[in-house]
Amino acid sequence: MRPERVKTMEELATLSGISRPTLSKFFHDPNSVRPSTRERVERALQRYDYRPNVYAINQNRQLTRNIGIVVPFLADPFFAEVARTLEPMCARSGFNPILLSSHGDPKREVENLESLSVIRPAGVLLAPLGRRSQRDALEAFCEDVPTVLVDCDVSGVGDAFFGSDNMQSIGLMVDYLTRTGEPPAFLEMREAPNPNANKRRAAYEAAMRALGHTPMLLGIDGTGWNFEELAAEAAADLMRNRALPSNTILCSNDRLAIGVLSAAYEHGYRVGIGHGHALRVAGHDDHPYTRFSCPSLTTVAQDYASITGGSMAALLSIIETGVRPAQKASHVFEGTLIMRRSA
């Protein structure tokens, strides 16, 4: 016996006894309703021949099934990993991920947001440039489009923020390095494009002073995202001039640390732990390739799963309920010390 043909969602709601809003929510994302409700809808669909008009649903909601993902620099392995994780999450939730990179350029970041505005996205996951972002443009965009910030917070912008607790993670590493050897000097870019750089420097200085040590800052000149090259050149100068203030170097991120490892090899510094080693090097982020550096890099792993999963869940909740939070919530997650052979 063929199922009874049903043409509209209202008719299906009347026949099945399931409210139209619940049916609409189910057709947007079956996992957004309770399992018992999902079973009721599935039984109704077995009994009645009904196919939702997805185009009409989207027109009614005045948005598409697109979710924008905007990162500062896609070639950076950290942001590539974030994007790689978020893209399938969007697809599994029934949305089309639109991935855009700002290439470290504030104007390009604004252009990306303007491009997304044209296609009326359901929401956006934004990893902003931070202090280099054009705040007015970010505020205007986030007023119109549900937006969850990832990795870098911009005060007062967006519906929620998910990122790392830099104070905890840097403090964790400083404590470890100090307990196991000389207190670390901190290597960073003076004009860092990385939005978390200033927070990590402040966290380093606070951790060193809390342990009774004087902070030792090593600044790298240069601009752009070619961190490895810039760090290798700066570290080489320090090594040639025997100007390293400590035999332990904590780098603001893993890419800088990889550059330091390269310079150490070129100048005959044996990096590692224990007798016979001249230098210890540590980083931050758990770059996907740090397991394979030589030696493997000691670092702090960010909680990718919680940051990406939490940000996606928060955005989907706003999209499905149509309710934006009255106040922005910030969620930061602790890092995990990854002890390898470099420190």
Nearest to 131 by CA among 156, 152, 111, 150: 152
> How much is the average pLDDT of 255-281?
96
Is 191 or 157 the better-scoring residue by pLDDT? 157
pLDDT by residue (tens digit) across 36-61?
888 888 888 888 887 665 444 444 44
What domains does the chain contain, in order, with CATH numbers?
A: 4-60 (1.10.260), 64-163+304-333 (3.40.50.2300), 166-301 (3.40.50.2300)
Percent of the chain with pLDDT over 90: 61
Note the pLDDT of residue 118: 86
What CA–CA distances, in Å, run from 124 to 23, 51, 97, 296, 322?
25, 28, 9, 36, 14
Note the pLDDT of residue 52: 65
Note the pLDDT of residue 1: 52
11-20, 149-158, 319-328: segment of lowest average pLDDT: 11-20
Query: Do 248 and 183 touch, CB atoms closer than 8 A?
Result: yes
Is 260 or 197 the better-scoring residue by pLDDT? 260
Residue listed under structure tokens 């060193």: 208
Note the pLDDT of residue 55: 43
List of long-range contacts for 80-88, beta carbons under 8 Å, 24+ apart:
81/288, 81/304, 82/127, 82/150, 82/151, 82/304, 82/307, 82/308, 85/304, 85/305, 85/308, 86/125, 86/308, 86/311, 86/312
pLDDT by residue (tens digit) across 93-104?
889 999 999 998
